[in-house]
Amino acid sequence: MFGIQPRDVSDDDFNPRRRRWSLWTTPPASMPTTSHTSTPRKGHANTYHMSVKFEDLCGFMVEGNVDDVNVLNEVRERIREQGRVWWALEASKGANWYLQPRISSNGGQGVISVTSLKLSVLTNTVTLRRLIRKGVPPALRPKVWLSVSGAAKKRSTVPETYYDELIRATEGKTTPATRQIDHDLPRTFPCHPWLNSEEGQASLRRVLVGYSFRDSEVGYCQGLNYVAALLLLVMKTEEDAFWMLAVLLENVLVSDCYTDTLSGCHVEQRVFKDLLAKKCPRIAAHLEAMGFDVSLVATEWFLCLFSKTLPSETTLRVWDVLFNEGAKVLFHVALAIFKMREDDLLRIQHIGDVIDVLQTTAHHLYEPDELLTFAFDKIGSMTTNTITKERKRHETVVMAELDQRTRRLGSLKMDA
């Protein structure tokens, strides 16, 4: 097995940043650095509730219980196994087999025409899709993400110096976006040592400021700081993170999620509500009767692409599928979080408890496969076509409402 591995599947391979960014050290998650306040006693019941601080798979210092640490170690082991599967495929299909043209479910990028469709392409597309749902090994994420998302293609359409020139053009300039970015840099995942460092913040700044100059309509929207930060941790180079951010906002997600009124985000929320009613009718009816609007919690999920909600490796597993299959993945995952706790949610009578259940569930989803199994097997399929139609329908209403609201607020005279 190990014989055919083209590279060493060691811890380092899955934490390649260690080599680039010396600031990061990665002790195994099995060694909680702090234990809780009272003296721990032997016995499972006690250790389970013991709160520990530990470093997760992406280097975030997080707090959880001992069970979370154990789950994380199992996940780490599974990532290794999954890595072996990928290396084996590289050995049999050739390195970079997944960079071949394929049938895209993501629309636009990398699509090949039906006439040139070969059986091998079809097989690869199916294989890759299945494989990606089981997780891309961390060491391969930069390459795989750039390819399947269409970011590599996007970059290939501009001169190689594009990013450097863009950054140079931003130097010394102050805009409302740069002011807000500067305000947010130290407030972006301060629990991650590298992001909390000067070097990390300077990198994040360049990516965000660069993007705000690329698309002045988006400029900078809070939330993108978390997305870009996580992209940096995965992609390892600023430029790759930048292109991932670009493809995400310009191709993967629906448009206008982050522009002035967040209209795209409003649309997605309404589509989500309809989907919940369709896929989890009992939960939807129960919450509706309580007067609970699911957008209260789901808005942040969609704007931060779960990066503030799920544990980091679980978020990245969601992103693996998001980049390969498109924005509908967010619906699958959001529905799954509700569906996983259906019985509890149906018993709850109070809004605050609904939020507690959802938040606690999401924060402790250290087992990505559990979530993804729910998201894809238990929720059932949704065609992109139907979702597109739903979006169109809601878009008209949302735009009219936002417009009306703007006018109403505009008519309130300011006594400045």
Residue 399 lies near another protein (rule: CB under 8 A): no
- Residue 120 Cβ, how far from another protein at the closest point, in Å? 43
123 with 100: CB under 8 angstroms?
no
Residue 304 lies near another protein (rule: CB under 8 A): yes
Identity of the residue, 163 or 226, whose beta carbon is nearer to another protein in the bound complex: 226
- Residue 274 Cβ, how far from another protein at the closest point, in Å? 17
Identity of the residue, 1 or 409, whose beta carbon is nearer to another protein in the bound complex: 409
Using the contact rule CB under 8 A, the part of the chain among 41-49, 70-78, 132-140, 256-264 near another protein is 256-264
Residue 221 lies near another protein (rule: CB under 8 A): yes
Using the contact rule CB under 8 A, the part of the chain among 21-29, 97-105, 166-174, 215-223 near another protein is 215-223
- Residue 131 Cβ, how far from another protein at the closest point, in Å? 32
Question: By rule CB under 8 A, what string of x and - marks binding of each residue 147-186 to another protein?
Answer: ---------------------------------x--xx-x
- Among positions 330-349, residues that touch another protein (CB under 8 A) are 349
Which of 31, 296, 346, 400 binds another protein (CB under 8 A)? It is 296
- Among positions 11-40, residues that touch another protein (CB under 8 A) are none
Question: By rule CB under 8 A, what string of x and - marks binding of each residue 350-379 to another protein?
Answer: xxxx-xx--x--------------------
366 with 334: CB under 8 angstroms?
no
Identity of the residue, 86 or 226, whose beta carbon is nearer to another protein in the bound complex: 226
Q: Nearest 5 degrees, angle CA 405-CA 407-CA 411?
A: 115
Residues that bind another protein (CB under 8 A): 180, 183-184, 186-190, 221-223, 225-226, 258-263, 266, 293, 295-297, 299-300, 303-304, 308, 349-353, 355-356, 359, 402, 405, 408-409, 412, 414-416
